Structure 1
Amino acid sequence: MLQVRWTAVTLMCLLFHQAAFARNVSLKCMQDTTTFLVELEKETPRQYAVLMYDAFGKMGSDVEGGNVNRLGSVRECRSVEGPEFSGQYCQVFLKQDRVEYFVGVCVPDSCTESEVQTLMYYEAFEQGRISLIPPVPSVLMSDSTLGIFMTQCYSDSTHLDLSAINCLFVCSVLLALPLVASIYVALIKRKKLREVRPGAGLTQTSNTNQYGAVLSNGSATQDATQTSDQNAENYQQNFTKSFLSCLHGFSIQNSGEGLLCAGNSASSYSSLNGIRILSLLWIISGHTVQLSVWNKLDNDKRWKEMVESNPLYVFAFSGPVYLAVDSFLLLGGLLSAKSLLSSIRRSDNTLSTGLVAHFLIKRFKRIQPLHLFIVCLTIGLFSVAQSGVFWFIAEDEIFNCKKYWWLNLLLINNLFTITDICAPWTWYLSIDFQFYATTPLLIFMYRLNKRVLVVVSIVLLMVSSVTGALITGFLHLPVHQPTTLAYESYFQYYYNKPYTRYGPYLLGILAGIYMTTKKETLIKKQWQAVIGWLCSLSVMALVVGLAYVLREVPPHLSLPHAVYQGMHRSLWALALVWIILACEEGYGGFADTILSLSLWTPLSNISFACYLIHPIIIILYNGKQETTMHYTDLNFFYLFLGHLLLTVVAGYLLTLLIEKPYLFLMRAKQ
C-alpha cells in the first residue's frame, strides 16, 4: 500500500530540488524532505518515516456532514526523531469548491512555514500541479482544484517572551500576596490562642509601681525621656494595629466572610440574583457550543441543520443566547441608578461634581483589578500551554493581548473590531462602564425636570433602535451572532458598539429611578398582573422565536431583519423590567419563587469572576483537543456541566484571591 501511494516519490524529489531553487526553499529543508520521501519509497521504511506519514491528516468519513478537516496527529509527529531532523506539525489551510478546511502535515523541523507551503503545492514544468495533500474526491466535491491561503506550523516547546514572563510573574505575585497574608493572620491568631498569662495582671501592677517610683524620684529630663518613650511605644502600637488590620482585610479569612452565605439582602431586589445567574448559565452554555463550532465540528453541517432551525436549542443557538447580555445590561442600568440615588440621599440630596467623580472612580476600581488580571493571565497561561491542533484561537488571544492590552486598561476595547481586541468577551465591561458614565446625566435630568428625562430617553431609545436597524439593513447583517468568523462586519459595526446596545441599559436606568423613588405600587389589581405577565412572556417568546425565523443572512436589504435587529434587545429588556417589578410588588408567583432562591446569592457573589474566567477554560479545553469534536446533545450537555463546574471553582478562587482582597486594598487607600 505504501509503495502504491508513493510510486512518484523519486520524480517528486527531483521536482522538489528544482522547486527549491525556483521558490527559495533552503537546501537543508529540501535535503531533509527528500530524505523523508526517499525513505518512504523503501520496501521497509524506517520507523521515523512511518510515523511522519502516519501523522499526516487523512480524509475521514461523513464529509457530506461537515467532516472536512484532516487533523493528523500532533503528538505522533512531535515524537519523530529523524536522522538529522525532528518532526514538525503544520496546518495547511485550503479552499476547495468554496469549502475551507485545513490538513495537518508532518514535515522536518528545518522547514519554515513559507517553505512548507511551497513544498505542499507548486507548479513543476509540464508535469502540472503536484501535491502532497490530495484534494477531496470529485464525487464529494465537484471542483477538485485546491487553493492554499495559509500555512501555520507549531513548535513542541513554549515560546516565552518578556511580556509573557512578566505576566506570569505579576499573576503569581498577585495570587501569592493574599495567601501570605492569610498564613500570617492564621499564625497570629494561633499564637494568641496558645498564649497563657496566669500572672499578667500582677506583673503589670508591679511594673507600674516600679516605673512610678522612678518617675517620682527622677529629674525633669527623665520624665521627658519617659514621655517620649511612651509616645514612640504608642506610635508603634498604632502602626502595628493598623498593619495587622490591613493584613487581615487583605487575607482570605476576611475575603471569604459571607461569600458563600445564602439568602437575599433586604436592601436589594430579590429577583435580580436569579436573573443574573440564569443569564450567566445561558452565556456559558452558548459559549460552550459557539467556540466549539468555530473550531469546526466533524458534523458541522448536520449541527446547523439540527440546531439553527429548532427553538428547542435556545440554549445553544447564538441568536437567543446572547439576549442574556442584554439582561446583564438591564441589571447594570437598574443598579447604577439605585446606587447613585442612594449616594445622593447620603450627601444631603446634592448631586455634586465630586459625587459623580467618586461614583465613576469607584466603578473603575471595582472592575479593573480582576479584569486586568484576566488580561495578564491570558498572555501568561496561553504562552506556557503547549499548542494543539486547534490552538489558533489561543494564539490570536496571545497576540492581541500583547498588542492591545491598553484598550482593556482604558475600557474602550469595544470600540474596535472584536477580532483585534484582547479577551473579546471583556467588551461587555467596556460598554457597561461607558453606559455607567451616562447614569449621572440622566439622574440630573430627572432631578431637573421629569418631562425632560422622558423626552431625552425616548430620543435615545429611537436613536439606538434606528441605528441598529440601518446598519443591519444596509450591510445585510444577520440578526444573530454568526456561527463562523466570516461575518466580521457584524462585530465591527454592530454587536459591541454603544450606539446599538444602549436600549436595555437605558431601560434599566429608568426602571431603577422608578423603583427607587416610587411612592405606591404600580400593580393594584390581579387582572393587571395577569395582563402584564401575558404580554411579557409573549414578547420574550416572540423575540426568541423570530431569531429562528430570520436566521438566514439576507442577500439584500431586508426590512424584517432591520426592524427585528433594531427593536428586539429593548423589547427583551422591557419584558424583564416587568418581571422584576411584578416580583417586587408581590405578583411574581412561581417565577418569583425561582428567581429569589437563596441558592443564587453565593453564585451571584462570584458571578463577575465566573464571567471573566469561563471563556479561558473553554478555549484551553478546545485548543488542546487532538480530534475534531462531535456534536450530540448529550456530549455537549456533559461538556457544559464540566465547564460550569470548573468555572464555579475558578471563579470562587479568583474572587477570594483577587477581586475581594484588591478591592479592599483600593478602599483602604481612600
Structure 2
Amino acid sequence: MFTVSQRLDHILYDAFGKQGSGIIEGNVNQPGMMQQCRSAHGPTFSGQYCQVFISQGMYMYFVGVCVPDSCGEKDVQNLALHGKLQLGQMSLIPPLPHILVNQSAQEVTMTHCLLNTLTPDTSDIICMSVYDWTSTLSTLLYSTKNTPQCFPRSCLYQGLQAFSLQTTTKGVLSTSVPGGGYASLNGIRVLSLFWIMSGHTTQIPILSSLDNINSLLNTVESNILHVFTIGGPVFLGVDTFLVLGVQPLHLFITCLATGILPLFQWEPFWFPDLENFMDCKKYWWANAVFVSNLIQVSQIVRHKCHFQLMLYLLCVFVFFFSSVGNYAFQYYHKPHTRYGPFLLGILTGLYLGKRKNPFIKKKVTTFDQNNSKTIWQAALGWFFCLSLLAVLFGLSYLLVESPPYPSVPHALYQGLHRHLWALAVIWIILACEDGYGGFIKSFLSMGFWVPLSNISFACYLIHPMFIILYLALLQTPIHYTEINFLYLFLGVLMLSVILSYILTVLVEKPFVLLKWSCKRMDVRKQ
C-alpha cells in the first residue's frame, strides 16, 4: 500500500481520525483509518488502532488514534487525559471548534483498543455443533420412550426423511395453505416482517454510524414515507408477530451470533456492539432456557440476540432492573411489556380452534333484516378498526417527545397502544376469515405470501445480524439519503430471505417433521 520511502510516522499520523465537515448535521465521530494503522510495521513495533471516547458539551464522539502495539488501553487513556497525544504543538485530538460548541473543554470518558486478530475459543466450536447433536438425541430418545426393543427401521427411515431437502423444500415453497384456512395470516405476517426490517435498517445505524443524523431527523418530520421506518410506530410490527406466534428456532440463531459474528475483523463502528456480543456469548444460556429478562440490564443479551420468547413461561414475573437504564433496554426489549399482544394472540388462537360458529354471523343468500344488520355490524367493525389504527399512527408522531412532567396522554398511550394494536389486528383476522374482508382478504390471502410466511420467523431472527455485520465492517460513516437506505433495506431483505430459507429447510422444518413423526408413532402404539 505504501512505498518504501514513506516514513512510519507519516503512516501513523495519517491514520489518526480528523475532524470533517457537517458537524452540525451530526458528523462528529472521527474514525480514522484502522486498516492503514494496522499496516504500519516498524523494527520494534506495529501500529495499533484505538478509540478515545470524548464528551464535549452536548456532543459525545470518538476519535481513532494509531499508537504502537506496546501501548495498553490505560497508556492511551493517560496520554489523552494529559494532552500528550500531540505532533509538535498540535493536538492530535483537538476539541470541536468553539464556534460550533459552547464548551471547549473535553472530557475523556474511556478508551478502547481493537484487537488485530481474533481466535475462536472452545465455546464457538461447541455452540455451533451442540445444538444439532442434542436436538437429534432428544428426538431419538423421545421416539423410543417406553420401547425397550432396538430401533425400528420405520423410525430411522422417518428420521432420515425429515432431513431430506426434497421433503423440507417442498413444504417451504408450497403456495397452498394447510387445511385451507386462515390464509390471511400469511400476508399479515410477511408485511409485519417487512415493516420491522425497514425500521431496523433505519434505526440501528442511527446509534453510531451516520454522519448526518440531523438531516435524517428533519426528513422524518416532513416525509410521510418514513412511517415505514423510524418515523412511525414500527415497534408495533413486533406486536403483530406476537399475536401470530413464534417457534423455537432462536437457539440456533443465538449460537450463530455468539459463535461466528465475533470472529470477523471488525472496523471502528463495531465497538458499540462488541460488548453486547461478549455478553451474548457469556449469557447464552439465558436465552436457551427463556430466562433472559431475569438477568440485569447491564448483563442481558441485547437486541441482536435477545428474542421475545420469555413469555412461554407465563408464571415467571421476577424482574431485575439496573439503577440506571434507558427506554430501549428497560422497556422496549423487555418481553413482559409485550405480554398483552402475546396473550391476546394465544386467546385468539384458542378461539379459532374451538369455535363452532363464526365471530360475525354468516351472510344469507336473500336480503332480509338480519343480513342487513350483519353487514352493518361488519362495516362498523372495520370503521372502528381503521380509526384505531389511524389514531395509533397519529399519536406516535404527536407524542414523540418525552415531557419534563408526568403526562396523562403519554401514560395512556404507552400503557394501551400495544393492546389496542393487537385488537385491531385480531379484528382483521376474524373479519377476513368470516368472509367480510373484501379486497383486503384477497390481498392478504395471495399464494405469493405463503413461502415467505414459512421462512418469516427465521428472517425475523436473522436480519439484525446482517445489519450489524454491515455496520461493523464500515470504515467510514454512512451518509443518509433515501436511496442509500433503500438499497440497504433491499440488500438486507434479500440476504435474510436466502439464509432464512437455508435455516428453515436445514434446521426448523426437519425437527418439526421429526416431532410430528414421533407423535404419529405414539398414536399408533396406543
Q: Per the shorter chain, which TM-score range?
A: 0.7 to 0.9
Q: Which of 347, 353, 357 lines up with 1:519 in the alignment?
A: 357
CA contact (8 A) 1:375 1:423 kept: no
Within 5 A, what are the aligned runs for 1:249-264?
249-264=162-177
Matches within 5 A, 1:269-418: 269-307=182-220, 311-317=224-230, 320-332=233-245, 367=248, 370-416=249-295
Among 160, 173, 198, the residue aligned to 2:120: 160
Q: Output the amino acid matched with 2:172.
A: L
Aligned length: 483
Q: Is the 8 A contact 2:50 2:114 kept in 1?
A: yes
Tell me the amino acid that sits aligned with residue 532 of structure 1.
G
Letter of the aligned partner of 1:403 in structure 2? K
Q: CA deviation at 1:48?
A: 2.0
Q: Secondary structure at the match of 1:258?
A: helix
- The alignment partner of 1:119 has SS state of helix
Inter-partner Cα distance in structure 2 for 1:422 and 1:502: 19
Q: Distance in 1 between matches of 2:104 and 2:45?
A: 33
Identify which of 447, 450, 467 aligns with 1:618: 467
Structure 1 alignment gaps of length 5 or more: 1-43, 178-234, 333-362, 439-463, 465-474, 476-485
Q: State the 1:503 CA deviation.
A: 2.1
Q: Secondary structure at the match of 2:326?
A: helix
Paired residue for 2:97, among 123, 131, 137? 137
Instruction: Confirm or deny: 8 A CA contact 1:279 1:324 kept in the other structure.
Output: yes
Identify if the C-alpha distance between structure 1 residues 526 and 323 changes in structure 2 by more than 3 Å, giving closer, same or farther: same
Deviation at 1:426, TM superposition (A): 4.9
1:583 aligned residue: 432
Q: Are positions 1:63 and 2:20 aligned together?
A: no
Deviation at 1:540, TM superposition (A): 0.4
Cα distance in 2, alignment partners of residues 262 and 668 from structure 1: 23
Shift of 1:111: 0.5
Q: 1:166-315 residue pairs with structure 2 within 5 A?
A: 166-168=126-128, 170=130, 242-307=155-220, 311-315=224-228
User: What amino acid sits opposite 2:309 in the alignment?
Assistant: S
Report the Cα distance in structure 1 between the residues aligned to 2:206 and 2:165, rounded to whole angstroms. Answer: 39
Counterparts of 2:64 and 2:97, CA distance in 1: 18
Q: Deviations over 1:32-75 (max 9, x none)?
A: xxxxxxxxxxxx98432211111111111111111100110111
Aligned to 1:507: 344
2:499 to 650, 653, 658: 650
Partner residue in 2 for 1:52:
12
Flag the 1:583–1:520 CA change in 2: closer, same or farther, 3 A.
closer
Q: 1:85 aligned to 2:45?
A: yes
Deviation string for 1:441-469 (max 9, x for gaps)?
xxxxxxxxxxxxxxxxxxxxxxx9xxxxx
Deviates more, 1:312-321 or 1:506-515: 506-515
More displaced, 541-550 or 382-391? 382-391
Q: Per the alignment, do residues 157 and 425 of structure 1 end up closer, same or farther by CA in structure 2, a change over 3 Å counting?
A: closer
Residue 308 of structure 2 contacts residue 334 of structure 2 at CA under 8 Å; is this kept in 1? no
> Where is the helix percentage greater, Structure 1 or Structure 2?
1
CA change 1:155–1:500 in 2 (3 A) is: closer
Deviation at 1:123, TM superposition (A): 6.3
CA apart distance, 1:494: 2.6
Which residue number in structure 2 is paired with residue 201 of structure 1? none
**Alignment root-mean-square deviation, CA:** 2.9
Cα distance between partner residues in 2 of 1:590 and 1:168: 45
C-alpha separation in 1, matches of 2:129 and 2:158: 27
The Cα shift of 1:140 comes to: 1.3
Q: Give CA deviations for 1:104-123 in whole Å, capped at 9, x if unaligned.
A: 11111110111111112316
> What's the offset of the Cα at 1:501?
2.4
Residue 500 of structure 1, CA deviation: 3.2
The question of whether the paired residues in 1 share the 8 Å contact of 2:158 and 2:517 is answered with no
Q: Please report how far the alpha carbon of residue 649 of structure 1 lies from its aligned counterpart in structure 2 after TM superposition.
A: 0.2
Counterparts of 2:470 and 2:515, CA distance in 1: 34
Greater Rg, structure 1 or structure 2? Answer: 1
Alignment TM-score, normalising by the size of structure 1: 0.67
Cα offset for 1:263? 2.4
- The aligned amino acid for 1:146 is Q
Distance between the aligned counterparts of 1:278 and 1:420, measured in 2? 33
Amino acid at match of 1:137: P
Equivalent position amino acid for 1:163 in 2: S
Map 1:589-628 → 2, pairs under 5 A: 589-628=438-477
Distance across 2 between alignment mates of 1:107 and 1:665: 56
How far did 1:589 drift? 1.5
SS in 1 for 2:104: coil
Q: Is the 8 A contact 1:249 1:664 kept in 2?
A: yes
Greater Cα shift, 422-431 or 652-661: 422-431
- Distance in 2 separating the partners of 1:416 and 1:258: 38
Contact 1:323 1:569 in 2 (8 A): yes
- Native 8 Å contact 1:58 1:72 kept in 2: yes
CA change 1:540–1:588 in 2 (3 A) is: same
Change over 3 Å in CA distance of 1:541–1:487 after alignment to 2 = farther
Equivalent position SS for 1:597 = coil
Q: Is the 2:46–2:69 Cα contact (8 Å) retained in structure 1?
A: yes
2:344 maps to amino acid: L
> What letter is aligned with 1:286?
G
3-state DSSP of counterpart to 1:64: coil
Deviation, 1:259, is: 1.1
Distance 1:167 1:59, change over 3 A: same
Q: Report the equivalent of 1:185.
A: none
1:491 CA displacement = 3.6
CA contact (8 A) 1:382 1:394 kept: no
8 A Cα contact 1:48 1:80, kept in partner: yes
Q: Deviations over 1:269-313 (max 9, x none)?
A: 111111111111111111111111112410012212222565431
Residue type of the alignment partner of 1:630: H
SS in 2 for 1:91: strand
How far is 1:393 from its partner? 4.1
Q: Which amino acid aligns with 1:289?
A: T
2:69 counterpart (109, 115, 126): 109
Corresponding residue number in structure 2 for 1:148: 108
User: What are structure 2's unaligned runs of at least 5 residues?
Assistant: 137-148, 362-370, 520-526
Query: Structure 2 vs 1, CA of residues 270 and 118 (structure 1 numbering), >3 Å: closer, same or farther?
Result: same
Superposition map of 1:432-443 within 5 A: 432-435=311-314
Q: TM-score, normalised by structure 2?
A: 0.84
Letter in 2 for 1:527: W
